[in-house]
Amino acid sequence: MQPSTSGTTPQHVALALLALSLGSFCIGTTEFASMGILPLIVSDLQVSIPTAGHAISAYAIGVVTGAPLLTMAGARLHRRPFLLLLFFMFIVGNVLSALAPSIEWLIVARFLTGLPHGCYFGAGVVAGAHLVGKSKTGRAVSLILLGLTVANIIGAPAATFAGQVLGWRNTYLLVALFGVVAFGCLWRWLPKSEALKGNPVSQELHGLKTPQAWFLLLIIAIGTSSIFAVYTYIGPMVTDVAHLPAAMIPVALMTFGVGMTSGNLLGGYLADKYQQKGIIIGFCCVLIVLFILGLTASSSWMLLICMFGIAFSSMLVVPSMQVQIMLSAPQAPTLMGALTHAAFNAANALGAWLGGITITAGLGLVSPVWAGLLMTLIGLVIFLMRGVILRRHQLRT
C-alpha cells in the first residue's frame, strides 16, 4: 500500500478529509470517554471525584501547552509527516494511560496524550482548507470536527461501556488500537501535495501580534468552559442527581454526542453563510439550556434533553470561531488553528476545575451547571463588546 501523491480529485479530497476525521474521532473518544469512566477511575485508584477530575484537566493543559510548542517545532515540516508524528505521540500517550498504577501516573500520561491534540487539529484544518478551497473552509472545519462529535455518539459511549465491562484501562487500550487504524488511513490517504508544505516559524509567530485573534481565543476559553463544567461530571449527575443506573451514563454520552454532531453540521453552514451570527445564537442558546438544566437536573428526561441542547448549541459556535480566528491572522493558519483548540481545552481545564471547586465547596453536583452559565454569559458579553469596539474603530478609519 503506497501513500497518495495527489490531492486534487474529489475522491482524493474526500478520502483525505475522512482520514483526518478518523483521527479526530480517536482524539474525541479518548477526551470524552475519560469523563464517562471517571467513577471507575475513582473506585480503582481510591481517590475522590475532584482528584480524578485532575486527570481530565491535565489532558486539557497538555493541549494548551502542546499547541504552540509543537506547532513551532514542526512549523517547517510538510503537513503530512507532521500529522503522522503527532498521531504517533497520541497513540503512545493512550498506552501509557492504560498502564497507570496511580493517579499521579495517570495525570502525567493524560498530559502527554493531550500535547499533540491542538496541533493535530490546527495542522489538519489547514490541510483540509487547502484541499477544498477558501469558500468552503467552514464546511471543511465541520467535516474534520465531525469525527470529534461522532466520537460522542459512538466512540465515547462504546469506550465507556467497554470500561464498565473490561475495566477503565482497556478503554485507553482500545483507543490506542483505533489510533493505529487512523494512523494507517492518514499515511495512505493524506496527499503529498505541495500545497501542504509548512511555513517559516517567523511567519507563524507573526500571528501572535494580532489582537483580534487573542480576543477570540479568550472568548473561547471563557465562554465554552460551561460545556466542560457540565460534561466532566456527567457520570455523577446521571447516577447521583437523576438517580439513574450507571448503565445510563453511555446513553447520556450518546445523547450529548448526537447534539454535538448535529450542531457541528449546522455550525459549519453558519460559518460560511453568516459568519459571526452563529456565535451569538449559539451562546444565547447555551445560556437558556443551562438555566433549564440547573432547575430540572433531577428529572432523567430533562437531564438527557438538556445534554443534547447544551451540546447542540455549543457546537454552533465552534466552526465559526475556528474560521474567524484563522481569518484574523491568515499568515499563521496552523498556529491559529492549534491555538483555537488550545483555547477550547483551556475551557476544558477551566470548566473541570470550576466544577470541582463548587462540588468540593459542598454546593452539590448541580453547581457546575450554574458556574458554567456564569462563564458563558461572560464570554458572550466579551464577544458583544468586541463587536462594538470593532465597529467604532471602522467608523473612525
The 10s digit of each residue's pLDDT in 12-57 is: 888 999 999 999 999 999 987 887 898 899 999 988 888 888 898 8
| 232-236, 289-293, 374-378: range with lowest mean pLDDT | 232-236
Determine contact, residues 343/221, Cβ cutoff 8 Å. Answer: yes
Determine contact, residues 171/160, Cβ cutoff 8 Å. Answer: yes
C-beta neighbour count of 187 within 10 angstroms: 18
CATH number for position 58? 1.20.1250.20
For residue 6, is pLDDT > 60?
A: no
pLDDT, average across residues 364-390 = 90
Determine contact, residues 341/52, Cβ cutoff 8 Å. Answer: no
| Of the candidates 37, 30, 54, the residue with the CA atom closest to the CA atom of residue 234 | 37
Max CA pair span of the chain: 64
Which grid coordinates belong to 249?
451514563
* Residue 141 falls inside a structural domain: yes
Rounded to the nearest 5 degrees, what angle is found at the Cα of 92, between the Cα atoms of 87 and 97?
A: 125
Q: How many Å apart are CA 118 and CA 340, to the nearest integer? A: 8
294 or 10: which carries more pLDDT confidence?
294
Rg (CA), the chain: 20
User: Domain containing 169: what range?
Assistant: 10-396
* Residue 307 falls inside a structural domain: yes
The 10s digit of each residue's pLDDT in 280-321 is: 989 999 999 999 999 999 999 999 999 999 999 998 888 888
Determine contact, residues 310/288, Cβ cutoff 8 Å. Answer: no
Q: What is the pLDDT of residue 8?
A: 62
Q: Report the share of the chain in percent with pLDDT over 70.
A: 94
pLDDT, average across residues 60-78 = 86
Domain count, the chain: 1
Note the pTM of the prediction, 2 decimals. 0.77
For residue 135, name the pLDDT band (cuts at 50, 70, 90).
low
Q: What are phi and psi of 378, to 5 degrees?
A: -60, -45
* Residue 84 falls inside a structural domain: yes
Alpha-carbon separation of residue 354 from 36, 125, 139, 284, 370 (angstroms):
18, 30, 33, 21, 10
Q: What is the pLDDT of residue 208?
A: 76
